Structure 1
Amino acid sequence: MTASPPSPLPINALRGFTACFLAQMDAEAAIHQAEGARAAAERARQEGLLAVDHALAAVAGFPATLALVLDGSSFRGYPTAADGDGRQIPPSAAADLGEGLWLHHTRVAASAIAPTRDVTTLVAPHAVDGYQLIAISDDASLARALIGLGLHHGRGCSEAFIPRQR
């Protein structure tokens, strides 16, 4: 009987299989990573759009001022972000009001009774601090803030005509 040639060692066959398997795993990992990045980008886009919707709802509380001049195209929405300490910053929306003023709106966690509350802020340039943040809640508080900033430009508005907060 003649001896047959020795068959290749199993390790040689496994080496070829392993290289192909690893290449396939790398390709699948790249696909999953790209899908994850797309999903994260879509979540961020949706959060930004929702933040704009919330801002528009808040602006409706300013019927004599902001509601007359701002619409959905006025705002840019921002998704949840993390600050330098890793704390979560909730989604928000901002609108450029001109003359260095910005309107910023966000919803923040409040309590178990009212899980969120709207925070609308006028962001104004400040010579020393860069910007100052002024919380506003209605047309009257906006008017008082603008007068305090000297931005009423003498258009007939005086403090005597601004309703007092109740």
Structure 2
Amino acid sequence: MALAQQVGLALAQRNWVAVTAESCTGGGVSTAITDIAGSSAWFDRAFVTYSNEAKQEMLGVRAETLTEFGAVSEAVVAEMALGALAQSRGDISVAISGIAGPGGGSEEKPVGTVCFGWADHTGKLKVETCLFAGDRQEVRQQAVEKALSGLIALMAQS
């Protein structure tokens, strides 16, 4: 069964609704979710916040957090995930920010670095950073899969 279908089943069982906050995946997670027939019952909305300004304006990410840690950081995705919940009717959220390449990497944050944040309405918040290999499309696809599997994992804790 596809990960997005598993997410849908887990959400439906809990009567929960998901929301996404995406940067480097550009809406890939929400596309995977809405490819599933019936997803309108358990998916509310997606925020594609590619720029720092969008992260601040749409999700309430603090300028200080962006300045101190950079857009690709666990601190920023935590604020994105919480902001997505606050600005939606969602019960659980996932946030993604990363460097898909081919440019934009650094020694500290090489291409393939992707940060994830998952939050739910019960107060749970989990963040994780992964380093994915491959070209831009491969990094983005791995990030979508990790985002979906992380939603499943967080719900399993409920």
* TM value normalised by structure 2: 0.29
* TM value normalised by structure 1: 0.28
**Bigger relative contact order (CA 8 A; separation at least 6):** 2
- Larger Cα Rg: Structure 1 or Structure 2? 1
